[in-house]
């Protein structure tokens, strides 16, 4: 007996031929590291839309392509190992197939890793959609001395199989032609289906009969029964509510009698795959030592691996400081500064408030954020490059022990590291973390990594206040911030997440030559999304902050912001601040380096002439150190908060993050100030 | 030569050895993730790297997989000596 029913499949083949009027939908399914993204980028290029799956924080990519004058819609399903509800990605992939019913699903498998990659296919063939198999990485298989016969695979699966090499665009036209033939009903698919042990098959049938009339419309009873026996949390939950109590009791009894069904089903699928693979692969992999094995002897070594990681990170830093930072200051002075100056002259006849709105509010706020784009792009590119060559998994592996302390695992390390450049890519980078909890924890602590903007503030203020000891103070501040990160990580993990830690199971993909198209598209999309944010959220908030600092009289000293700062004096006093320092701190919210400009205005001297001396003579050492500490730990900048909102998909977590940093910075400021007074 | 079957946990197997999965311990979520990556009873595993502390790397069905020590300690294996 088969582990799912073929009735659903034939039903959809009829459906496929009817949907003539609207654009045909092709879904791309595949496990991670099978070259699915490469294929998707190849087909859609820049003609793709990146967003989130409705209600989820998982990236959704879709796009159109044209073949023989007809346009098709291509949806890139998240990369998943199976279709059981282990992760949001897996739920999304199967929900899309079941409820949207794409006209055809292209399953991307790797010829070099056929056994494992067919596991997803063994699940896809049980869903009521036609499947076409793209046998990718034919070149890698060949390099490894394997001979994979697509015709045999096609015969054994009873599905169309097209050999391709997506990185070199080989065989892609044939693949699309095959998919189109299936859509047009020229080719029918009725796949062979994995067989599983008789007793579990019987249990599936029993459950199927019990639930028959209670299954949601898009689902087939056979598939739901199978998932129940596999212990799928989502399906179990929904059927428990859908079924009348006595029916659920009966179902539950069967489930309890077959508590090993999950392993039996998986073994059944792998046996089925094993037979197919034996016939398909004519010449198995030879016993030579692969490049991956050789590289991994160093890259995953507990000691050498850390050196390799340090070297790579050093290189990323070097790139940031030799290319990113100079570009950033060039943009700030030569582009944003000149535009501001130009607008000031052009608008000389317009009202002062309008001029100030444009120059100080819009250009000063959004412009300052935009100058960070080169640094962001360097980080996006480095991150994408390391991911694409397969190194990311190694970095996660060698850092696992250290990250363990905070209830995180290695995968959180690289996103955190990116924070040294800018917290924005750090928070976006947490997408590589598969457990939602670990991801939120990483997002919460990431702003404690001192970014280049905060370092710029420190680099100006520390010498102003502490002269020769500035270097020591700066390092102390960085160290303090990182210690806070570790402490906060441990605390949040214990208190908020109750010390739960998701399992660390991670594929170590084969190393491969990076695909510049993939990396380029990633940088492009991330940069675009950041620019959009700068034009919306950041623009609005910059204008608001400007309004507060300008109104009512057009003078910062008498503005609402100043009034607010004075009103906060009792709190500020605890930290040793006068109202001007409080205002400077608040004004650092749109962009951290604003703090210096604000101090310049409040003290009537610019950063270039005398501000440092004025500050040093006005404030005591205790106040100075307290202000530096609070600046380091204060609410992350506007861009970061906007990205936290985007990536957590939750206002609650965003508010939690803002409040947490507000409390953390204030309390630290108070303690540091009072301790410093004693010294 | 006499063959004796020795059973132990995957986390205790040194680098370079080959073992066969005997069974997976309780824990539905972990099991589902393990099985979808190819860890099913009867499957051969090659230990690529195990330094006795921290995570380890194994080769299962032609894929290199990194496993936390805690996770590896939940996979019961047998080896032939």
Residue A251 belongs to domain with CATH number:
1.10.287.1770
- Interface touch A263/B30, C-beta < 8 Å: no
Confidence band of A289 (pLDDT split at 50, 70, 90): low
- Whether the pLDDT of residue A14 is over 80: the answer is no
Distance CA A580, CA A620 (A): 14
Q: Which residue of B has its CA nearest to A408?
A: B68
Expressed as residue numbers, the domain containing B46 is: 5-80
Torsions phi, psi for A80 (to 5 deg):
-140, 150
Choice between B80 and A128, residue whose per-residue pLDDT is larger: A128
Q: Facing residues of B5 across strands?
A: B80
Which structural domain range is residue A73 located in?
7-183
Q: How many CB atoms lie within 10 A of CB A578?
A: 16
Is residue A24 domain-shared with residue A168, that is, in the same domain? yes
What's the pLDDT score for residue B5? 67
pLDDT exceeds cutoff 90 at A298: yes
Judgement on whether residues A179 and A214 belong to the same structural domain of the protein? no
Is A13 a residue whose pLDDT tops 60?
no
- Cβ distance A401 to B40 less than 8 Å, yes or no, reads no
Mean of the pLDDT values across residues A58-70? 88
Is residue A5 very low, low, confident or very high in pLDDT (cuts 50, 70, 90)? Answer: very low
Report the alpha-carbon distance of residue A612 to residue A521 in Å, rounded.
44
At residue A501 the predicted structure's pLDDT band, cuts being 50, 70 and 90, is low
Cα→Cα distances A508→A293, A505, A602, Å: 11, 10, 55
Q: Which of B44, B68, B72, B75 to mutate to test the interface with A (most CBs of A within 10 A)?
A: B68
Is residue B1 over pLDDT 90?
A: no
Q: Could you tell me if A1 and A268 are in contact, meaning their C-beta atoms sit under 8 angstroms apart?
A: no
Q: What is the mean pLDDT of residues A197-214?
A: 90
A83 and A90 Cβ atoms separated by less than 8 Å: yes
Q: Distance from CA of residue A425 to its chain's centroid? A: 9
- Chain A residue nearest residue B38, CA to CA: A116
Based on the fold, state whether residues A147 and A236 are members of the same structural domain. no
Query: Is A242 a member of any domain?
Result: yes
The Cα–Cα gap between A534 and A441 comes to: 25
Residues A646, A647, A649, CA angle at the centre, nearest 5°?
65
pLDDT: is A664 or A495 the higher one?
A: A664
Q: Give percent of chain A with pLDDT exceeding 90.
A: 32
Q: At A195, is the secondary structure helix, strand, or coil?
A: strand
Residue B65 token pair: 């997989």
Assigned domain for A606 exists: no
Same domain, A127 and A169: yes
Q: Note the pLDDT of residue A4.
A: 57
Nearest-angstrom CA–CA distance, B26 and B33:
13
Count of domains forming chain A: 2
Residues A222 and A176 reside in one and the same domain: no
CB contact under 8 A, B28 and A262: yes
Looking at the structure, tell me whether residues A164 and A24 fall in a common domain.
Answer: yes
Instruction: Check residue A657 and report its DSSP letter.
Output: H
Q: Is B73 on the interface with A (CB under 8 A)?
A: no
The encoded tokens of residue A99 equal: 């409820």
Amino acid A417: pLDDT: 82
Q: Read off the pLDDT of residues A622-677 as tens digits, 9 standing for 90 and up.
A: 999 999 999 999 999 888 999 999 888 889 999 999 999 999 999 999 999 999 99
- Rounded to 10 deg, the angle between the A291-299 and A304-319 helix axes is 90
The answer, yes or no, to whether residue A295 has pLDDT greater than 50, is: yes
Q: Are both A131 and A69 inside the same structural domain? A: yes
Q: With an 8 Å Cβ cutoff, are B36 and A506 in contact?
A: no
Same domain, A170 and A113: yes
pLDDT band at A495; cut points 50, 70, 90: confident
B31 part of contact set with chain A, CB < 8 Å = yes
- Give yes or no: residues A120 and A31 share one domain: yes
Is it true that the peptide bond before A368 is cis, omega within 30 degrees of 0?
no
Q: Give, for A105, the enclosing helix (H) or strand (E).
A: strand A104-110
Query: What's the pLDDT at B4?
Result: 59
Judged by a CB distance cut-off of 8 A, whether residue B46 touches chain A is no
Indicate which CATH number applies to the domain containing B49: 2.30.30.90
Residue located via tokens 């944003």: A336
pLDDT over 80 (residue A484): yes
Centre a 10 Å sphere on the Cβ of residue A679 and count the other Cβ atoms it contains: 7
CA-CA distance, A657 to A647, in Å (whole number)? Answer: 13
Q: Decide: helix, strand or coil at residue A629.
A: helix
* Closest residue in chain A to residue B35, using alpha carbons only: A266
B26 touches chain A (CB under 8 A): no
**Tens of pLDDT along A594-625?**
787 778 777 765 555 577 778 888 888 899 99
Count of structural domains within chain B: 1
Helix (H, G, I), strand (E, B) or coil at A135: strand
SS3 assignment, position A165: strand
Residues A44 and A97 in one domain: yes
For A115, the closest of B33, B36, B62 (CB atoms) is: B62
Contact assessment for residue A83 and residue A227, using Cβ atoms and an 8 Å cutoff: no
Q: Is the CB of residue B62 less than 8 Å away from at least one CB of chain A?
A: yes
pLDDT at A20 over 50: no
Domain boundary among A220, A252, A277: A277
Structure token digits, residue A50:
């990146």
Is B72 touching A (CB cutoff 8 A)?
no
What average pLDDT is seen over chain A? 85
> What is the distance in angstroms between the Cα of B74 and the nearest Cα belonging to chain A?
11
pLDDT at A568 over 60: yes
CB distance A183 to A104 below 8 Å: yes
Closest CA–CA distance from residue B60 to any residue of chain A (Å) = 9
Q: What residues pair up with A192 in beta bridges, in sequence order?
A: none
Query: Is residue B40 less than 8 Å (CB to CB) from chain A?
Result: yes
Smallest Cα distance from B3 to chain A, Å = 25
Q: How many CB pairs under 8 A join A and B?
A: 109
A104 lies in some domain: yes
The DSSP bridge pattern shows strands A70-76 and B75-80 to be unpaired
**Separation of alpha carbons A68 and A62, rounded Å:** 20
Boundary of a domain, candidates A277, A306, A332: A277
pLDDT for the residue numbered A46 = 78
pLDDT band at A15 (very low <50, low <70, confident <90, very high): very low
- A32 within 8 A of A117, measured Cβ to Cβ: no
A131 — phi, psi (to 5°)?
-120, 135
Cα separation, A144 vs A150, in Å, equals 17
Check A296 against B32: CB less than 8 A apart: no
**Binning pLDDT at 50, 70 and 90, where does residue A148 land?**
very high
Write down the ipTM of this complex. Answer: 0.91
User: Does residue A136 share a domain with residue A57?
Assistant: yes
Question: Is B25 near chain A, with CB under 8 Å?
Answer: no
pLDDT confidence bin for A110, thresholds 50/70/90: very high
Backbone angles phi, psi at A281, to 5 degrees: -90, 115
Mutation for testing the B interface, residue in A122, A140, A228, A263 having most B CBs under 10 Å = A263
**Which two three-digit tokens encode residue A604?**
């009537």
B4, two tokens:
């004796």
User: Which residues of chain B does A508 touch, with a Cβ-Cβ cutoff of 8 Å?
Assistant: 57, 63-66
B30 contacts chain A (CB < 8 A): yes
Residues A143 and A204 in one domain: no
What confidence score (pLDDT) does residue A1 get?
45
State residue A12's pLDDT score: 40
Confidence of residue A354 (pLDDT cuts 50, 70, 90): confident
Supply A573's token pair: 């006093």
Confidence (pLDDT) at B36 = 87
> Is A658 inside a domain boundary?
no
Res A6 pLDDT > 70: no
């Amino acid at each position: 007996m088969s582990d799912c029913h073929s009735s659903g499949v034939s039903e959809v083949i009829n459906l496929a031929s009817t949907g003539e009027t609207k654009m045909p939908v092709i879904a791309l399914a595949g496990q991670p590291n099978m070259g699915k993204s490469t294929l998707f980028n190849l087909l859609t290029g820049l003609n793709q839309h990146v967003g989130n799956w409705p209600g989820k924080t998982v990236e959704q990519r879709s796009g159109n392509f044209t073949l023989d004058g007809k346009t098709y819609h291509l949806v890139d399903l998240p990369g998943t190992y199976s279709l059981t509800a282990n992760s949001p990605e897996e739920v999304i992939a199967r929900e899309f197939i079941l409820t949207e019913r794409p006209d055809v699903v292209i399953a991307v498998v790797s010829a070099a890793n056929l056994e494992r990659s067919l596991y997803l296919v063994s699940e896809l063939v049980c869903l009521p959609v036609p499947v076409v198999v793209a046998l990718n990485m034919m070149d890698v298989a060949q390099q490894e001395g394997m001979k994979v016969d697509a015709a045999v695979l096609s015969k054994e699966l009873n599905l169309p199989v097209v050999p391709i090499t997506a990185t070199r665009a080989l065989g892609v036209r044939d693949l699309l032609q095959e998919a189109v033939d299936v859509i047009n009903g020229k080719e029918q698919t009725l796949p062979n289906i994995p067989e599983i042990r008789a007793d579990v098959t019987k249990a599936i049938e029993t459950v199927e009969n019990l639930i028959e009339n209670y299954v949601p419309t898009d689902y087939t009873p056979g598939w739901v029964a199978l998932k129940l026996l596999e212990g799928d949390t989502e399906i179990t939950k929904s059927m428990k509510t859908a079924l009348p109590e006595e029916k659920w009791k009966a179902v539950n009894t069967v489930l309890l009698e077959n508590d090993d069904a999950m392993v039996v089903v998986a073994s059944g699928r792998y046996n089925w795959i094993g037979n197919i693979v034996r016939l398909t692969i004519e010449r198995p992999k030879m016993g030579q030592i692969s490049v991956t094995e050789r590289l991994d002897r160093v890259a995953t070594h507990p000691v050498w691996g850390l050196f390799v990681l340090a070297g790579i990170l050093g290189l990323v830093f070097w790139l940031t400081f030799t290319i990113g930072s100079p570009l950033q200051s060039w943009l700030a002075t030569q582009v944003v500064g000149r535009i501001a100056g130009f607008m000031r002259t052009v608008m000389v006849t317009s009202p002062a408030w309008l001029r100030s709105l444009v120059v100080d509010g819009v250009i000063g706020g959004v412009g300052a954020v935009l100058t960070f784009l080169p640094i962001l792009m360097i980080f996006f590119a480095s991150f994408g490059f390391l991911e694409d060559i397969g190194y990311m998994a190694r970095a996660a592996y060698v850092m696992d022990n250290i990250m363990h302390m905070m209830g995180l695992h290695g995968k959180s390390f690289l996103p955190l590291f990116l924070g040294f450049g800018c917290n924005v890519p750090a928070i976006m980078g947490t997408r590589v973390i598969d457990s939602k909890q670990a991801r939120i924890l990483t997002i919460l602590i990431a702003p404690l990594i001192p970014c280049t903007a905060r370092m710029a503030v420190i680099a100006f203020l520390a010498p102003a206040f502490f002269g020769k000891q500035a270097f020591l103070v700066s390092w102390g501040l960085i160290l303090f911030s990182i210690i806070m990160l570790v402490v906060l990580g441990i605390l949040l993990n214990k208190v908020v997440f109750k010390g739960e830690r998701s399992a660390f199971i991670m594929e170590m993909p084969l190393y491969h030559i990076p695909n510049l198209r993939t990396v380029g598209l990633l940088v492009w999309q991330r940069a675009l999304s950041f620019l959009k944010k700068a034009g919306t959220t950041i623009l609005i908030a910059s204008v608001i902050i400007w309004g507060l600092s300008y109104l009512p009289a057009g003078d910062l000293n008498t503005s609402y912001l100043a009034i607010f700062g004075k009103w906060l004096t009792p709190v500020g006093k605890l930290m040793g601040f006068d109202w001007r320092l409080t205002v400077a701190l608040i004004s650092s919210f749109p962009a951290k380096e604003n703090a210096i400009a604000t101090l310049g205005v409040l003290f009537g001297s610019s950063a270039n002439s005398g501000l440092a001396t004025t500050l040093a003579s006005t404030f005591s050492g205790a106040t100075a150190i307290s202000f530096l500490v609070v600046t380091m730990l204060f609410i992350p900048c506007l861009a970061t908060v906007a990205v936290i909102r985007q990536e957590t998909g939750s206002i609650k977590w965003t508010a939690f993050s803002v409040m947490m940093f507000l409390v953390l910075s204030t309390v630290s400021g108070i303690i540091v100030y009072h301790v410093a007074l004693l010294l | 030569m006499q063959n004796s079957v020795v059973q132990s946990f995957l986390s205790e197997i040194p680098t370079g050895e080959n073992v066969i999965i005997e069974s997976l311990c309780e824990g539905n979520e972990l099991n589902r993730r393990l099985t979808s990556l190819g860890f099913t009873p009867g499957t051969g595993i090659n230990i690529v790297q195990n330094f006795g502390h921290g995570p380890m790397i194994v080769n299962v069905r032609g894929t290199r997989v990194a496993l936390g020590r805690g996770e590896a300690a939940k996979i019961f294996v047998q080896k032939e000596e």
